[in-house]
Amino acid sequence: MIQINLLAVSVGNTRTRVGAFVDGELCEVSTYSNDRLDRIASAIEQANKPLSEVEDACVLVSSVNPNVIDDVMALVKKHTSRQVYRVEQDMAIPIGRQLDPEALVGEDRLLNAAAAFEKLKQACVVVDAGTAMTIDYIDGNGTFHGGAIVPGAQLMLDALTKRTALLPDVDFKKPDELIGHNTTQAMLTGAFYGMRGIVRSVTEAIAVETGQYPIVVATGGDAQVIFRDDEFVNRVIPDLGLHGIAITLRKHLEHEDSSA
């Protein structure tokens, strides 16, 4: 197997995640809000350090945010002095797809799916708990079928504040109590257990539809808070998307070697 040396950058709706793979091992991972380009620049510079003496290192960027990607690409080029490649544009994500012809699917969902199937080699559901929460089904042949998209926990709380007269601004965290004895705790309980309930309900419906119960993998910024002690979720992998970028590069290089 080809050992990957890679600077991986994943631009999300709200945050950008940066990581370095050295001989296939992920290190130097950091995440910053998209409005902190100075921090993202520092993260890119720091992640590039262990790769600075590696001749075959590659830079591969994915994005679901067209408003931020140009600024991040400029930072990557400035702080790495390497050719920068884009996921899907330069290297296709190695996952089969069974979708409507006009469907546009975020690169993050496909990267998560590719990484999850590469690790598990069986049917699975991938939950990405971020600004939005996606729940996607990958069958036993490694084909991505799509799934469900719902508001993430913070977005749910923000919607309550925006669309009601008296509910306060609340930053998402795990509630202190199951039964909320004040408004803030009641809102946190609704968001926290609402996320868990949605995942369980959608996954059970997928199991009925497909005739098999898939492994459930969670990732994303809120995954640890929501799912780390949830018995329904089999694994929490915070850096699944970065691993998806690394797998995209490895499969691309393997294909080039086999075609040479």
**Cβ pair 53, 5 in contact under 8 A:** no
Average pLDDT score over residue span 128-133: 96
Give φ, ψ of 44 to 5 degrees.
-65, -45
Alpha-carbon gap, residue 259 to 18, rounded angstroms: 31
Alpha-carbon gap, residue 93 to 100, rounded angstroms: 18
Q: Is residue 259's pLDDT more than 80?
A: no
CA-closest candidate to residue 59, choices 257, 254, 245, 253: 245
Domain ranges of the chain: 6-86, 96-239
Give φ, ψ of 54 to 5 degrees.
-95, 115
Q: Is residue 1's pLDDT more than 80?
A: no
Alpha-carbon gap, residue 237 to 214, rounded angstroms: 16
The string of pLDDT tens digits covering residues 32-57 is 999 999 999 999 999 999 998 888 89
Amino acid at 232: F
Q: Is residue 139's pLDDT more than 70?
A: yes
Strands of the 25-33 sheet, one edge to the other: 25-33, 15-22, 6-11, 58-63, 84-86
pLDDT of 81 reads 84
pLDDT of 240 reads 97
What mean pLDDT value characterizes the chain?
95
Give domain 96-239's CATH superfamily.
ATPase, nucleotide binding domain (3.30.420.40)
The DSSP code for 50 is: G
Candidate list 108, 136, 222, 239, residue with the active-site label: 108
pLDDT of 54 reads 87
Q: Is residue 198's pLDDT more than 80?
A: yes
| % of the chain beyond a pLDDT of 90 | 91
The string of pLDDT tens digits covering residues 82-96 is 889 999 999 999 999
pLDDT of 18 reads 97
The string of pLDDT tens digits covering residues 19-35 is 999 999 999 899 999 99
Q: What angle do CA 208, 214, 219 make, to 5 degrees?
A: 125
pLDDT band at 147 (very low <50, low <70, confident <90, very high): very high
Average pLDDT score over residue span 135-152: 97
Longest dimension (CA), the chain: 66
Those residues whose C-beta lies under 8 Å from the C-beta of residue 178, and which sit 6 or more positions away, are 189, 193
Give domain 6-86's CATH superfamily.
ATPase, nucleotide binding domain (3.30.420.40)
pLDDT band at 260 (very low <50, low <70, confident <90, very high): low
CA-closest candidate to residue 239, choices 112, 153, 148: 112
Helices and strands counted in the chain (H then E): 7, 11
pLDDT of 111 reads 98
239 catalytic? Reply is no
169: left (phi over 0), alpha (psi -120 to 50) or beta: beta
pLDDT of 3 reads 82
CA-closest candidate to residue 59, choices 251, 241, 248: 248
**Cβ pair 171, 160 in contact under 8 A:** no
